[in-house]
Amino acid sequence: MGDHDSEVWSTLTKFMLGLAVFAVVIFVVAGSMAAGNKEAAKKDNAASNDKAIAERIAPVAQVTVAGDKPAAAPTKKSGKDIYSSACFACHGTGAAGAPILGDKAAWSARIGQGTATLYDHAINGFNGMPAKGGRADLSDDAIKSVVDYMVSQSK
């Protein structure tokens, strides 16, 4: 082996050792950073887990015995409130071809079909719109109040 070959091997060996040291430093730094993140994640998870557990085990009903004060009845939401929480995603943006609230041109033909047809389409679904806008938890009367609100805003 000549002097040139020895020099190449020496340089290559130093380079490989340098890379190994660099890799060890990177692993140590990454490990210390991950350990700090794990502690923060544990604290966040503990709080969210406690909340999630409390929601899962919360009572779904309240029993009232004769003579007790009855629980307050749920408040009825207005058509505007339901629109804001359930219908805006499509009828506020025009998603999936939904007519936008207040767009008189888009609503005129629909309103011309009559309220009964609009109620039927909203309750049972029509074209791309799912029944009750995908909110099966809403009553037919609640859906009708939303339709009435949307029609009043789009005339």
pLDDT tens-digit map of 101-116: 888 988 888 889 999 9
The pTM assigned to this predicted structure is 0.52
Q: What is the DSSP letter of 87?
A: I
Bridge partner residues of 126 (DSSP): 129
CA 58 to chain centre: 22
Please indicate, yes or no, whether residues 147 and 84 belong to a single structural domain of this protein: yes
Share of the chain above pLDDT 70, in %: 86
Please indicate, yes or no, whether residues 96 and 137 belong to a single structural domain of this protein: yes
Cβ atoms of residues 134 and 96 within 8 Å: no
H-state helical runs in the chain: 3-57, 79-82, 88-91, 104-112, 115-124, 140-154
Q: Please determine, for residue 38, whether its predicted confidence score (pLDDT) is greater than 90.
A: no
Mean pLDDT of the region 91-99: 85
CA 15 to chain centre: 51
Q: Is residue 71 part of a domain?
A: no
Domain that holds residue 18: 1-58
Confidence class for position 47, pLDDT limits 50, 70, 90: low
Specify the number of domains making up the chain: 2
